[in-house]
Amino acid sequence: MIFFIDPNTKKNWVPTSKHAVTVSYFFDSTRNVYRIISLDGSKAIINSTITPNMTFTKTSQKFGQWADSRANTVYGLGFSSESHLVKFAEKFAEFKEAARLAKEKSQEKMELTSTPSQESAPGDLQSPLTSESINGTDNDRVTPDTPQHPEARAEPSQNALPFSHSSSSINKHWEAELAALKGNNAKLTAALLESTANVKQWKQQLAAYQEEAERLHKRVTELECVSGQTTGIKSQKTELNRTIEELELALKAKEEELERLKAEVESANEFRSQRDSLTQRLQETEVRNQTLEAQLTDLEQRLESSQLEREAFRKSLRSLLELLDSKIFELNELRDALAKLLEGS
């Protein structure tokens, strides 16, 4: 059974299903992470990403739990035996170590890719698109482009390059991630179609096996009715029963294969929902980019009009100064004339 902690009391366990369900480990090759997944029909009960900081704790002989900080909850699992619990804990530790190694490799790749760019342009300013803005939330992506000082409003033409550069980088990142998901979705769809065709073929084979089993049962009954308990009839009956058992085992194997295909179909549906979510986020990013471009255009128009007004003011000021100089010159001439008149008198 699967449980999760009550979000209100933080003490009581709440069951998520009325019956036992399968809990599986899953490697997400797109994000390079390991997950713990459990499905109840088409509903995902557990979708927990394994991180190096997680710890699986055995609280009793048949019960264990772990905390998922991303989902903001604590999951609990009840097992039918202690051996199943021990096996799950060992696998948890194994995939936890694998997640740690994958994280270290990812950090080493990021350091190797960031070092050459820093050496080639040591005097340039840092780009506003950082690793936090790529992997963070929508608020993190907006923060690098938002002006932090009043001086940025006086020169909007200098801020135009970071706006467009950040928006285009975010779009490229989401487009690459969406393309990867589309590729995985296409592969899963092809596998699903192939599996559906195989299921139809297996159903036909199962129907043929069932008909053969019924025919053999009738044959055994006829032989028992026709002849007595002879040695030859007994050996033939034993052989027929063995054939029936083999057919039943083949039928059971086909049923297990059918269950596995159903699980793959549910996984494909989950990838499809992730693709739709990324498409919506990409559209929101494009709308935000258009808004920023409109604001930038408005600021450029304001700056241009402000420059025109300033130029007109300078021209009027020059004409006023020229007029003032002429008036001062006339006043000086008038003062000199008055001074000469006073000296002559």
pLDDT, mean of each 10-residue run, the chain (345 residues) = 84 83 84 85 84 91 90 89 92 90 80 50 32 33 33 34 49 74 75 72 79 83 70 77 89 90 88 89 91 92 90 90 90 89 82
Q: Where are the beta strands (DSSP E) in 1-136?
A: 2-5, 13-15, 23-28, 33-40, 43-50, 57-58, 63-68, 73-78
Q: What is the pLDDT of residue 29?
A: 78
**Is the pTM above the cut of 0.75?**
no
Q: What is the pLDDT of residue 233?
A: 65
Q: In terms of DSSP bridges, do strands 63-68 and 2-5 run parallel, antiparallel, or are they unpaired?
A: unpaired
Q: What is the pLDDT of residue 301?
A: 92
Q: What is the pLDDT of residue 86?
A: 93
Q: In terms of DSSP bridges, do strands 33-40 and 23-28 run parallel, antiparallel, or are they unpaired?
A: antiparallel
* Cα 79–Cα 85–Cα 86 angle in degrees, nearest 5: 165
Cα separation of 286 and 279, whole Å? 11
* Other CB atoms within 10 Å distance of the CB of residue 37: 19
| Of 122, 61, 55, 112, the residue nearest 86 (C-alpha) | 61
Which strands make up the sheet holding 33-40, listed edge to edge?
A: 23-28, 33-40, 43-50
**With contact defined as beta carbons under 8 Å apart, do 76 and 65 qualify?**
yes
**DSSP calls for 200-251:** HHHHHHHHHHHHHHHHHHHHHHHHHHHS-S-HHHHHHHHHHHHHHHHHHHHH
